[in-house]
Amino acid sequence: MKADAVFEGGGVKGIAFVGALQVMEQNGYTWEKLAGTSAGSIVAALVSAGYTSRELKPIFEELDYMYFLKKSGIGRLPYVGPMIDLVLNEGMYRGDRIELFIEELLRRKGVRTFGDLPGGKLRIIASDISRGKMLVLPDDLVEYDLMPENFSIARAVRMSSSIPFFFQPVRLKREGKVHYIVDGGLLSNYPVWLFDVPGVPEWPTIGFRLHDRQTRSEETKVTGLFSFTRNLLTTMLDAHDRLFVEKAHAVRTIFINTLGVRATQFQLSAEMRKELLLSGEASARKFLNHWNFQNYIQVFRNSTPAQVI
């Protein structure tokens, strides 16, 4: 069955998307258009380039997430380095390794720019904090005098994944001024409405959302500015898991239990990766047990659902 897919942001927890995708693909779902925020943009980009869940599974199972936490020369200084980088470069870590990682995977499929994909195949959400505006890439690149079809998908993913203060923002120029582009989740972490059309759609949009059902009992100590900043970011990112989703969107959403894993838990054990994959699979099976596209149309598409930003 044809469907569009929208993936929520969620840091390292995004590996669970692969498990859910596997079940959906095994049940005959194929993806027409894809969109994602932050970690969701990584999965959306790779699937749009032709990767299947079967191909993605070993990639994410074997990935060393600490690889992405590259520091600059100053950032390598013990204790104070990351905070100096935060002050001087607006981020503790550079973020270029995310771009290189995606760039290489896309290259294996013969894809580099948005122009290498069918028109409208992929949408990536980012945030321009200089204007306080949500960006839908590649469409909004024209506002920065950039050609959407020539823009690197890997660079767009890096923009969407640049967690504020954690990763350094990507800079774009607009009307001679520098604009700072960061994690799309800051303004729209779950844009499940993105592909909605007036009236009755030909096929559904399926949302993939990370949902933490566990209450964390552990406390993390705040011993200084560095640990304060890290805990602040983690709290902000994980709070998205508990946001309300209105019923019209909830019925077309696969809610994936993230088992208490934090968005910035980069030292993710092999066992926990496997558990997240299995959780994604179980969540997709549960969704398919009650999902019915025709029922969704009858109940919810008499009028266009409101946007949730």
Does 38 participate in catalysis according to the annotation?
yes
Q: Does residue 238 form part of some domain?
A: yes
* Pair of tokens at residue 196: 């909605």
38-52, 56-70, 147-161, 241-255: the lowest-pLDDT one: 241-255
**What integer pLDDT is reported at residue 175 of this predicted model?**
85
CB atoms within 10 A of CB 10: 31
Q: Does residue 307 form part of some domain?
A: no
Is the pLDDT reported for residue 78 higher than 80?
A: no
pTM: 0.84
- Reduced 3-state DSSP string for 227-258: HHHHHHHHHHHHHHHHCCCCHHHHCCEEEEEC
Q: Does residue 133 form part of some domain?
A: yes
Q: Does residue 210 form part of some domain?
A: yes
Is the pLDDT reported for residue 126 higher than 90?
A: yes
Q: Does residue 178 form part of some domain?
A: yes
**What single DSSP character describes residue 203?**
S
pLDDT tens for each residue of 12-47: 899 999 999 999 999 999 999 999 999 999 999 999
Q: Which of 144, 261, 147 is nearest to 210 (CA)?
A: 261
C-beta separation of 129 from 180 below 8 A:
yes
Q: How many angstroms separate the CA atoms of 86 and 167, rounded?
A: 9
pLDDT tens for each residue of 170-224: 999 888 899 999 998 888 899 999 999 998 999 999 999 998 765 444 455 545 5
C-beta separation of 183 from 160 below 8 A:
yes
2-11, 133-142, 175-184, 239-248: the lowest-pLDDT one: 239-248
What is the identity of the amino acid at 181?
I
Q: How many angstroms separate the CA atoms of 258 and 235, rounded?
A: 15
CB atoms within 10 A of CB 191: 25
What spatial distance separates the first Cα and last Cα of the chain, rounded to whole Å? 28
Radius of gyration of the chain (CA): 19
Q: What is the mean pLDDT of the chain?
A: 85
Indicate the number of domains in the chain: 1
Residue listed under structure tokens 């959306």: 44
Q: Does residue 308 form part of some domain?
A: no
Q: How many angstroms separate the CA atoms of 258 and 277, rounded?
A: 10
The residue-averaged pLDDT of 114-130 equals: 96
CATH number of 247's domain: 3.40.1090.10
Does 279 participate in catalysis according to the annotation?
no
- Choosing from 4, 38, 53, 72, the catalytic residue is 38
Q: How far is CA 83 from the centre of its chain?
A: 25
Q: Does residue 273 form part of some domain?
A: yes
Q: Are strands 122-128 and 165-167 parallel, antiparallel or unpaired?
A: unpaired
Q: Does residue 309 form part of some domain?
A: no
Domain ranges, residue 17: 2-302
- Choosing from 4, 128, 183, 212, the catalytic residue is 183
Coil, helix or strand at residue 123: strand
Q: Are strands 122-128 and 177-183 parallel, antiparallel or unpaired?
A: antiparallel
48-57, 85-94, 234-243: the lowest-pLDDT one: 234-243
